[in-house]
Chain A
Amino acid sequence: MSLNLLLVEDDATLVAMLGQELRDMGHRVTVATDGRVALDAVVRDRFDAMILDIMLPQVDGLSVLQRLRQDAIGLPVLVLSALGRPVEKIEGLDAGADDYVVKPVTAAEINARLNAILRGRRQTVQEGDSLRAGDIVVSPARFRAWRGGKPVELSKIEFALLTELVRNADSIVTRAMLLEKVWGYDFEPATNLVEVHIRRVRSKLMADGGEDPIVTIRGVGYRLPA
């Protein structure tokens, strides 16, 4: 999916690297190095999403976000911030950010999160609806999963993992995203928890034969083809 992105970041090296990688992924990237320029750009152009650093010269990221939301501009915003300043996270989400990611961050992580944000905006999943990816169906309301029509018994954590992959079918879901969504953790344990539990989901999905439906994207995360 090619997106028109506004990257608001004052670190030239980061801008160069991230910008290039995002372009390599097929996105159009406009760069703004401070908040005022970003606000002007939002008015002039139609962007699909904004990647917003918090610490900016002139007008800082939170102010940009607040101004956008005050003016009822619903542009999806992914906030970037430095680690060790948890207050920013709360403030950022309160100010109307769609998601939040701590630097250093890879283009793959940003891409995955943007996909999830945009998908979340498009989808209006009713409670009680079943979700489908390939031959896998999950029903979050009933806490049940099926593969090829046959029920699959999963633990709570395994079920939450599979649901997250199905919800984002065809998109990469990163390890950090899964840790946040499934476990509610904002830290990455030394143990590769996601891998350990994905392995169990896989073996349960393949208990009745069939191919491994979960694609591993090395160093990034997982993807379940639709």
Chain B
Amino acid sequence: MKGLRSLRALTAAFLLAFIAATALTGLLVYRATHDAVRELVDRRIATVASEVGALAARTDRAGVSRALEAMMRDRDTGDLGLLLTDANSRVLTGNIRLNRPLPEGFTTVDKGLGVKGLSGGRALVRPVGDGLILTVVAETEPFDDYSDARRRIYLFGFGSIILIVVAGVATFGTIIGRRIVAMRRTVEAIIDGDMQSRVPVDGSDSAFDQQARAFNAMLDRIARLMEEVRNVSNDIAHDLRTPLSRLRARLAKTVGMAGEEGSELEAALGDCDQLLAMFTAILRIAEIEGGARRAGFEPVDLATLAGHVVETMAPAAEDNGHRLEAGEQRAASVPGDRRLLAQAVINLVENAIRHTPPGSLIRLSLRPEGAEGVALVVEDDGPGIPPELHGQVLRRFGRLDRSRATGGHGLGLPLVEAITRLHGGTMRLEDAAPGLRVVLRLPLAG
């Protein structure tokens, strides 16, 4: 049954079964009527033949001939072909002539028998005593070429039924398929973070429409819940930021006044800053995943942006003993948020500075990626990250270095990924051999 899971395969299988059943039914009906007609005709000619046989037993040849001639004129039996011959095939009387002898018993005959006006029928040949042989022929067809006509009627009739059903099933499949595609598009849009996307409703109140409406209602509910959760987490982060920044302000004021405790206070101030940065990152990710910034998208020239980031970050890299340079640059413009894209790239450069030894080279380049994409690439020649750990660094708070020796709060790459997703792009880590290569693939059109 595995093969029947797709709508198309199911439709094809149904149509095949339907065509086979229809064809078989047609064939059986055709055969049954055919057999029934033959049976009736056989019985009739057998009756006529036995009547003649009974007569022959009582009278002479001339009597039999007269009786036959009477039957030929009779309205009830006038449509029969009758022929009386002697043992030497000499014709005594009859309204038909045969162009070939028929065997004794029942035979199916057609035009080939040469009987005028006969297109198909049954013949019975039997001896009726006194060396006489009687041939009775009856038509099985109510009009000429009935058999062919019947075949055409069957073909046409059953053919049209099959055509109508095929067309119906195809239409049905297309309609269902279209609805499914509409729903899938909506789901994909939602997965991409566009919580506003809904399944189209045509107002017909059909089963499809009801389903679409139920689906949309579910999405509305999920969106409401997400909004609530987001508000709660935003409020929590906001509420924690406020006392934290007050604490920071108080510490900052005290640092100046303190004597020996100064360095401890400086460290506490540093911790405050780290906590604040973490809350800021959490709120920032929430803001980005909310998708509202998509409304402010405008064309962003990535080459200009990359150049600006290099100019901005090169002195910082230099101060840390690193080199930051612009690699391959391809002119490309994507619909996006310039500040967010800058934040993403700066984050990646900062990561590279933080996790590579002094003397490392960091390169920021812009490469074509497929026909409809462009890749922002930040690579370094540092120690890199083993491929099996790539997933870990993308998780929130997922750091390889638990000791915090290298700083950072583990939200940098998740933030970059959220920004990339907001732009309909994907982020991947690669082995630059040596070093780490982070590729942000962005679609050229939104």
From residue A161, how far is it (CB to closest CB) to chain B in Å?
A: 11
Q: Within the complex, which residue of B234, B242, B292, B296 is in contact with A14, where a contact is CB–CB below 8 Å? A: B242
Which residues of B233-285 have CB atoms within 8 Å of chain A's CB atoms?
Answer: 234, 237-238, 241-242, 244-246, 249, 252, 256, 277, 280, 283-284
Interface presence of A143 (CB below 8 A): no
Contact of A83 with B287 in the complex, beta carbons under 8 Å: yes
Interface presence of B12 (CB below 8 A): no
Contact of B343 with A196 in the complex, beta carbons under 8 Å: no
Interface presence of B293 (CB below 8 A): yes
Contact of B339 with A186 in the complex, beta carbons under 8 Å: yes
Contact of A189 with B346 in the complex, beta carbons under 8 Å: yes
Interface presence of A25 (CB below 8 A): no
Which residues of B108-123 have CB atoms within 8 Å of chain A's CB atoms?
Answer: none
Contact of A191 with B238 in the complex, beta carbons under 8 Å: no
Where chain A touches its partner, the secondary structure class is loop
Please, which residues of chain B bring their CB within 8 A of the CB of A191? 313, 316, 346, 350, 353
Do A190 and B350 form a contact, CB below 8 Å, given A90-B296, A219-B252? yes
Contact of A86 with B292 in the complex, beta carbons under 8 Å: yes
Interface presence of A207 (CB below 8 A): no
Q: Within the complex, which residue of A82, A187, A199 is in contact with B234, where a contact is CB–CB below 8 Å? A: A82
From residue A178, how far is it (CB to closest CB) to chain B in Å?
A: 12
From residue B149, how far is it (CB to closest CB) to chain A in Å?
A: 77
Residue on A with the closest CB to B240? Answer: A104
Provide the bound-state CA to CA distance between A196 and B313, in Å: 9
When A and B form their complex, what is the total count of cross-chain residue pairs whose Cβ atoms lie within 8 Å?
89
Contact of A196 with B241 in the complex, beta carbons under 8 Å: no
Residue on A with the closest CB to B342? Answer: A185
Contact of A190 with B315 in the complex, beta carbons under 8 Å: no
Provide the bound-state CA to CA distance between A128 and B245, in Å: 41
Please, which residues of chain A bring their CB within 8 A of the CB of B315? 196-197, 199-200
Contact of A84 with B237 in the complex, beta carbons under 8 Å: yes
Q: Within the complex, which residue of B242, B292, B343 is in contact with A87, where a contact is CB–CB below 8 Å? A: B292
From residue A180, how far is it (CB to closest CB) to chain B in Å?
A: 10
From residue B4, how far is it (CB to closest CB) to chain A in Å?
A: 49
Q: Within the complex, which residue of A83, A106, A184 is in contact with B280, where a contact is CB–CB below 8 Å? A: A83
Where chain B touches its partner, the secondary structure class is helix
Which residues of A10-26 have CB atoms within 8 Å of chain B's CB atoms?
Answer: 11, 13-14, 17
Q: Mark A58-87, 1 if CB is under 8 A from B, else 0.
A: 000000000000000000000000111111
Interface presence of A103 (CB below 8 A): yes
Please, which residues of chain A bring their CB within 8 A of the CB of B346? 189, 191
Residue on B with the closest CB to A103? Answer: B242
Residue on A with the closest CB to B315? Answer: A196
Please, which residues of chain B bring their CB within 8 A of the CB of A82? 234, 238
Contact of A185 with B339 in the complex, beta carbons under 8 Å: yes
Q: Mark B352-369, 1 if CB is under 8 A from A, else 0.
A: 010000000000000000
Provide the bound-state CA to CA distance between A105 and B65, in Å: 131
Q: Within the complex, which residue of B252, B311, B343, B408 is in contact with A157, where a contact is CB–CB below 8 Å? A: B311
Contact of B249 with A106 in the complex, beta carbons under 8 Å: yes
Provide the bound-state CA to CA distance between A225 and B292, in Å: 42
Provide the bound-state CA to CA distance between A106 and B241, in Å: 12
Provide the bound-state CA to CA distance between A90 and B242, in Å: 23
Q: Within the complex, which residue of A83, A106, A187, A188 is in contact with B238, where a contact is CB–CB below 8 Å? A: A83
Interface size on B, residues (CB 8 A): 39
From residue B350, how far is it (CB to closest CB) to chain A in Å?
A: 5
Q: Within the complex, which residue of A86, A156, A193, A200 is in contact with B287, where a contact is CB–CB below 8 Å? A: A86
Provide the bound-state CA to CA distance between A53 and B51, in Å: 119
Residue on A with the closest CB to B412? Answer: A190
Please, which residues of chain B bring their CB within 8 A of the CB of A87? 292, 295
Please, which residues of chain A bring their CB within 8 A of the CB of B246? 13, 17, 104
Provide the bound-state CA to CA distance between A197 and B311, in Å: 10
Q: Mark A158-176, 1 if CB is under 8 A from B, else 0.
A: 0000000000000000000
Contact of A157 with B284 in the complex, beta carbons under 8 Å: no
Which residues of B318-376 have CB atoms within 8 Å of chain A's CB atoms?
Answer: 319, 338-339, 342-343, 346-347, 350, 353
Contact of A84 with B283 in the complex, beta carbons under 8 Å: yes
From residue B310, how far is it (CB to closest CB) to chain A in Å?
A: 11
Please, which residues of chain A bring their CB within 8 A of the CB of B290? 84
Which residues of A183-220 have CB atoms within 8 Å of chain B's CB atoms?
Answer: 183-191, 193, 196-197, 199-200, 218-219
Provide the bound-state CA to CA distance between A104 and B290, in Å: 21
Provide the bound-state CA to CA distance between A157 and B316, in Å: 13
From residue B395, how far is it (CB to closest CB) to chain A in Å?
A: 19
Provide the bound-state CA to CA distance between A133 and B184, in Å: 62
Do A187 and B339 form a contact, CB below 8 Å, given A84-B287, A103-B238, A156-B311? yes
Q: Within the complex, which residue of A90, A104, A186 is in contact with B244, where a contact is CB–CB below 8 Å? A: A104
Contact of A155 with B311 in the complex, beta carbons under 8 Å: yes
Do A187 and B343 form a contact, CB below 8 Å, given A85-B287, A87-B292, A193-B316? yes
From residue A81, how far is it (CB to closest CB) to chain B in Å?
A: 10
Please, which residues of chain A bring their CB within 8 A of the CB of B280? 83, 187-188
From residue A197, how far is it (CB to closest CB) to chain B in Å?
A: 6
Provide the bound-state CA to CA distance between A13 and B339, in Å: 33
Interface presence of B162 (CB below 8 A): no
Please, which residues of chain B bring their CB within 8 A of the CB of A156? 311
25 interchain pairs, CB-CB under 8 A = A13-B242, A82-B234, A82-B238, A83-B280, A83-B284, A83-B287, A84-B284, A87-B295, A103-B238, A157-B311, A184-B338, A184-B339, A185-B339, A185-B342, A186-B339, A187-B339, A187-B343, A188-B280, A189-B343, A189-B346, A189-B347, A189-B350, A191-B353, A193-B312, A199-B315
7 tightest CB-CB pairs across the interface, nearest first?
A104-B245, A84-B283, A84-B287, A191-B316, A84-B234, A83-B283, A82-B238
Apart from A82-B238, A188-B277, A196-B316, what 8 extra A-B contacts exist at CB < 8 Å?
A82-B234, A83-B237, A83-B284, A87-B295, A104-B244, A155-B311, A191-B316, A191-B353
A residues apposed to B, CB below 8 Å: 11, 13-14, 17, 82-87, 90, 103-106, 155-157, 183-191, 193, 196-197, 199-200, 218-219
